[in-house]
Amino acid sequence: MLCIKNGIVVDGINPEPYKADILVDGKEIIEIASEISTVADVTIDAAGKCVLPGFVDAHCHLREPGYEYKEDIGSGTRSAAAGGFTSIACMPNTHPAVDNAALVNFIKMRALEERAAKVYPIAAVTKGLKGEELTEMWELKKAGAVALSDDGKPIMNAGIMRLALQYARGFDMLIISHCEDLQLTGDGVMNEGYMSTVLGVKGITRAAEEVMVARDIILAETLKTPVHIAHVSTRGSVELIRQAKKRGVKVTCETAPHYFSAADEWVDGYDADTKVNPPLRTADDVEAIIEGLKDGTIDIIATDHAPHHRDEKEVEYSLAASGISGFETAFSLAYTHLVEPGVISLHQLVEKMSTRPADILNIDGGRLQVGKTADITVVDPAKEYTVDVSQFHSKGKNSPFHGRTLKGKVVHTIVDGRVVMENEKILV
């Protein structure tokens, strides 16, 4: 048995935090009470800390199979655990792409060998992520895929996107859409605006994202079927989704921590660690993303953890790979930029990082409750520290937040009742 004592519990259900001990037997939470006297085998003292349902990430890239030099399921899950994530859903843009049941099974099998976090595969919408032919969605679901996405690439053909939404509805499979019109992106590599003009770098218009958000909303609306918009980054996208939700469209969406913590000014100096897709937008967009998180337009925060090798980043800006290694800074960025300034409460952050992502993916987790699985993350809200990518468990050291001071840190992570990180030390 494991007992977490003296912590402030934010359980994902009650809006008000409360002081309580949590007793775990095996994989299960068996008691939550103000003082538990049962003698446990292992006790974690959480005095001064907050005890939260383990974070659930609906969008990450683990790179296995095919790109193990960037990340593998071992390093990726250890990185997730270090960031307080107990369940993560990984995108299928590996090599080969996860577009068949055998590969879904491969990822599940590898995840069982590496037990730092639970891995839920997301499978491809179209064969080979080519945007042409639908995958065998029923088989993928039976094999264990929790959602479908061609993330990394948009489905440019609106006819195929519509068929995918229609067909997937038959099996209650959620489609996660990477919204980007490639014709509008052109050869752009950063947000188009004053900064791209100043830096002499080809810009990506916000319209590249927004026309596809609008398209997918309209498709979902006319089909009366759900769609989930990945990595929302612009004010226009937030507004389109806000209006759609008001009309009752079954649209959900996510943003990533870098879209509320960083802006296109960071590209000054041409450091490719600031290169990500969609690109870092303007300060005005950052404000809109924060408003969207506050009023609930943006349902969840997903990391879009996208590790890359140094050699793919220490190059000329337009030649560099896009993506940010995000697991290990996600909570701290959210705490620093959302909870600390009072934009949202810690309970609301838990909803966005644990409860809602679990519900949207329809997977276990997201709440601390007797009888529920013991996926638990303990954070120290008072701890300030400076991000040091050399300490990342991820192979991907590509973070524009290196050297930044953040507040709020994950200290313990418990997956299925097992302590996988204790006092910031990964044990698996």
Partner 1 sequence: MALKRKDLLGIRGLSRDEIDEILNTAELMKYILIQDHKRTPHLQGRSIVTLFYENSTRTRLSFELASKYMSASMANVTAGSSSVAKGECLIDTGKTIESMGVDVVVIRHPVSGAPHILAKHVTASVINAGDGINEHPTQALLDMFTIRQKKGTINNLVVAIIGDILHSRVARSNIWGLTTMGAEVRVAGPATLMPPDIEDMGVKVFYNVDEALKGADVVMGLRLQKERQMKGLLPSIREYTRLYCINKERMLLARKDALIMHPGPINRGVEISSDIAEGEQSTINEQVTNGVAVRMALLYLLTRRNKDAVY
Among 285, 272, 283, smallest CA distance to 199 is for: 272
- Pick from 13, 134, 163, 199: which binds partner 1 (CB under 8 A)? 199
Nearer to Zn ion, 151 or 312 (CB): 151
Q: Which does 133 bind (CB under 5 to 8 A by kind): partner 1, Zn ion, none?
A: none
Nearer to Zn ion, 255 or 336 (CB): 255
**Residues 124/155, Cβ–Cβ less than 8 Å:** no
283 binds partner 1 (CB under 8 A): no
Q: Which residues, 6+ apart, have CB-to-CB distance to 210 below 8 Å?
A: 179, 234, 236, 237, 240
Cα within 13 Å of Cα(367), Cβ side? 12
Task: Please state the closest distance from residue 205 (CB atom) to partner 1, in A.
Answer: 8
Q: Give the C-alpha separation, 209 to 193, whole Å.
A: 15
- Pick from 159, 200, 341, 371: which binds partner 1 (CB under 8 A)? 200
Task: Please state the closest distance from residue 141 (CB atom) to Zn ion, in A.
Answer: 21
Q: Is the Cα torsion angle 197, 201, 207, 209 positive or negative in sign?
A: negative
Nearer to partner 1, 262 or 349 (CB): 262
3-state secondary structure of 291: helix
319 binds partner 1 (CB under 8 A): yes
182 binds partner 1 (CB under 8 A): no
Contact range with partner 1 by CB under 8 A, out of 111-119, 249-257, 316-324, 339-347: 316-324
Task: Please state the closest distance from residue 389 (CB atom) to Zn ion, in A.
Answer: 22
284 binds partner 1 (CB under 8 A): no
- Pick from 201, 361, 374, 378: which binds partner 1 (CB under 8 A)? 201
**Residues 168/137, Cβ–Cβ less than 8 Å:** yes
- Give the residue numbers annotated as catalytic, written as ranges: 304
Residue 425 bridge partners (DSSP): 422
What track of x and - describes contact with partner 1 for positions 292 through 311 (by CB under 8 A)? -------------------x
Q: Give the C-alpha separation, 70 to 368, whole Å.
A: 34
202 binds partner 1 (CB under 8 A): yes
Q: Give the C-alpha separation, 426 to 419, whole Å.
A: 9
Q: Extract the runs of DSSP E, i.e. beta strands, from 109-234.
A: 118-123, 147-149, 175-177, 190-191, 203-204, 227-229
Nearer to partner 1, 264 or 351 (CB): 264
Interface with partner 1: number of residues (CB under 8 A): 20
Q: Which does 192 bind (CB under 5 to 8 A by kind): Zn ion, partner 1, none?
A: partner 1
198 binds partner 1 (CB under 8 A): yes
196 binds partner 1 (CB under 8 A): yes
Q: Is the Cα torsion angle 47, 354, 28, 86 positive or negative in sign?
A: negative
Nearer to partner 1, 196 or 237 (CB): 196
**Residues 355/296, Cβ–Cβ less than 8 Å:** no
Q: Give the C-alpha separation, 145 to 114, whole Å.
A: 18
Residues forming contacts to Zn ion in the complex (CB under 5 A) are 151, 178, 230
- Pick from 270, 364, 407, 416: which binds partner 1 (CB under 8 A)? 270
183 binds partner 1 (CB under 8 A): no
For tokens 């069982």, the residue is 112
Amino acid 70 reads K
Q: Which residues, 6+ apart, have CB-to-CB distance to 144 below 8 Å?
A: 104, 105, 108, 120, 121
Task: Please state the closest distance from residue 54 (CB atom) to Zn ion, in A.
Answer: 24
Q: Which does 167 bind (CB under 5 to 8 A by kind): partner 1, Zn ion, none?
A: none
Contact range with partner 1 by CB under 8 A, out of 68-76, 87-95, 192-200, 285-293: 192-200
Amino acid 165 reads L
Q: Which residues, 6+ apart, have CB-to-CB distance to 20 below 8 Å?
A: 7, 9, 32, 33, 34, 51
Task: Please state the closest distance from residue 57 (CB atom) to Zn ion, in A.
Answer: 14
Residue 253 bridge partners (DSSP): 229
- Pick from 14, 38, 105, 197: which binds partner 1 (CB under 8 A)? 197
Q: Give the C-alpha separation, 371 to 51, whole Å.
A: 17
Q: Which does 287 bind (CB under 5 to 8 A by kind): partner 1, Zn ion, none?
A: none
Task: Please state the closest distance from residue 231 (CB atom) to Zn ion, in A.
Answer: 5
Q: What is the binding site for partner 1 (CB under 8 A)?
A: 192-194, 196-203, 269-270, 311, 314-319
